Amino acid sequence: MFKKVIIALMIVLMMVTVSSARIIDDIDLPETLTFGKTILLLNGGGTRVAFMNDVYVAGLWLEKPMTDPAVIKDADEAMAIRMHVTNDFFASSKNITKALNNGFRNSVPRGDLTPIQAEVDRFKACFADEIKDGEEFDIVYLPGVGVSVYKDGLLKDTIPGYEFKRSVWSIWLHDTRPADEDLKLGMLEGSISKEALAAKEQWIAKVKVIKEDLVAKAEASRKAKSVADAKAVAEAKIAAEAKIAADAKVAEEAAIAANAVAAAQVAEEAAAAENQAVKEAKAAEEAALKAKAGAEAEAKTAAAKAQKATAAAESPKTKVMADATPLTKAEFVNEDVYFALNSAALDAKAKQALTMKAMWMKSNPVVSVAVEVYCDSRGSIEYNKKLAVKRAKSVAKFMVEQGIDDSRMEIVIFGAVDSAANETAWANSRKAHFKVK
């Protein structure tokens, strides 16, 4: 009964929300987070920056304000870090897992991950799926449970161990090599809002009231069940006595009818056996007819597929690609890929150019290239930089689909290019230029 009370209490507490939010770079970080029976307070937060680009906004939630990173890492108490993705190009699964691996190496002596390699691999696997803008990862440590990773509220895995928790928190709070120094300083702000403190007091009061109410209801239910059980026992006794008398009478009547039923049953079973034999013969005949029809249908389907495959092999697009003349190195470098105004989409001409470049790179498998992405001179610097990133994504994705490993391509974002103020010059500036490294 007490176990049921605890489960009911946790369910009710998961429904309690008493938190305002703190805004960092247009992202709302709640002043409080709740996990089970624990309420955590926002200690501080900031933005992870890589190559002058915002990657994600992160916050640190603790049971009480703290500013010493060593104390936080060593504390065996509940805490959480939330990562809100703002740039899925730089926060791709590949980049995030690589950064996490470097952070783990910094957290152990001589960068030897051997003692915790299994835990590190499980942790990185939580970030293996595609990551998109707006998604949130919660990294939560609860004493006696371990480190749990949630993606948009869905539990990915829980890795046990206090020592592993220290390694995880060192990624962001390392003494000399944190993931981002400014983000570390923001997390260590130790500024707990009045709203968060009030929410904690409200939480504690609600926990007490809810627990007392659930215990009282459980006790009332137990007493009601005891009364019902006693009544059920008395009724069962009366029913049992009545059944004994009824069974005796039924047994006598059954003995009289048994002989007559036995004779009728023998005749009925013989008739049923004959009917069953007729049904089985008919079913066998129908099955044979269906099998024949199915075989004929499969033969027709196979013939149609063969005819379709032959037609596809002769399609114009296939023939064009087969007849295409491979690019020379000079043509590979000099033929750029162009984009429409304010667009990152690849038109047919751009896809054809990229296909030819992919063919050349496949013919030269040891070559790596730099892909330089430009915009025309109109628009703000920030807008052109974001547009160039989108164009880079389109080019890289298409090349990977053509079988080119992304490790052979280095994306270089140039943004706007100074040019003459006319449509021709602007059109020539909206491009991706391939350079052999």
Q: Give the pLDDT confidence of 278-296 residue by residue, as tens digits.
A: 587 476 467 546 746 554 5
Domain 21-192 classification at class level: alpha beta
Q: What three-state secondary structure class fits 325?
A: coil
Tokens 């491979």 map to which residue?
326
Closest to 169 measured CA to CA, from 80, 50, 245:
80
Both structure tokens of 409: 């391509």
C-alpha dihedral sign at 84, 89, 91, 94? positive
Residue extent(s) of CATH 3.30.1330.60 domains in the chain: 319-436
For 47-54, which contacts have Cβ atoms below 8 Å and span 24 or more sequence positions?
A: 47/86, 47/180, 47/182, 47/183, 47/186, 48/83, 48/179, 48/180, 48/183, 49/180, 49/182, 49/183, 50/90, 50/95, 51/90, 53/87, 53/89, 53/90, 54/25, 54/86, 54/87
Residues in CB range of 17: below 8 A, 6 or more apart: 34
Q: What is the DSSP string of 351-409?
A: HHHHHHHHHHHHHSTT--EEEEEEE-S-S-HHHHHHHHHHHHHHHHHHHHHTT--GGGE
Q: What percent of the chain has pLDDT above 90? A: 60
Residues in CB range of 383: below 8 A, 6 or more apart: none
Q: In this predicted structure, what is the pLDDT of residue 37? A: 82
Residue extent(s) of CATH 3.50.70.10 domains in the chain: 21-192
Q: Lowest-confidence range among 10-19, 79-88, 179-188, 296-305?
A: 10-19
In the Cβ-directed half-sphere of 103, how many Cα atoms lie within 13 Å?
Answer: 24
Q: In this predicted structure, what is the pLDDT of residue 226? A: 72
CATH of domain 319-436: 3.30.1330.60
Tokens 């009045």 map to which residue?
194
C-alpha dihedral sign at 341, 346, 347, 349? positive
Both structure tokens of 357: 């470049």
Query: pLDDT tens for residues 226-257?
Result: 766 768 656 857 665 757 456 646 536 643 44
What is the C-alpha to C-alpha distance for residues 16 and 4, in angstroms, rounded to an integer?
Answer: 19
pTM of the full structure: 0.48
Query: pLDDT tens for residues 333-351?
Result: 999 999 999 999 999 999 9
